[in-house]
A = this chain, B = another copy of it.
Amino acid sequence: MHPATTLLRDIADLTTEFERHLGRQLTVNPTDLEAMDHLIREGALSPTELANRLHITTAAVTTVVDRLVAVGHVSREANPRDRRGVLVVPAPESVRRAMSTLMPMILGMDDVLSDFNDAEKDTITSYLSRVVAVYRAQLPSKPADSA
């Protein structure tokens, strides 16, 4: 096994550990953190959309949102397009708090790249793209969900 392949594995493990760390910062469990992650990256989502992304039922999402509302990380708002629907909106202050832990990481990642020239950056990007392709090839295709 090539060193790079091993490093990729290390990064995966470190990512998991970082998520535990971030969860502690926001005092939420792993599922609730993942919900926040989606809300931060995609903006307000409906419970159904969250359920698809988290791979849990909408019943479970109801309790996820209950917990997040209780600690002030999100609010439930009416969906203007569908009177049955609900929109789960992330609280700006919570987004800010998450960002304060996330940004050093992201900046650190980008900073690593600044030490490589353009050709090297292309090599790295090309490598990572191909790794993604290998993953996708091995996985049973997951069609787009937008529910």
Contact = CB atoms under 8 A, between A and B. Distances in A.
A97 interface: no
Interface residues of A, number: 48
A12 B101 CA distance: 18
A129 interface: yes
A126 to B, nearest CB: 8
A18 to B, nearest CB: 6
A112 interface: yes
A141 to B, nearest CB: 11
Contacts of A8: 11, 109, 128
A122 to B, nearest CB: 10
Contact of A11 (B104, B115, B135): B135
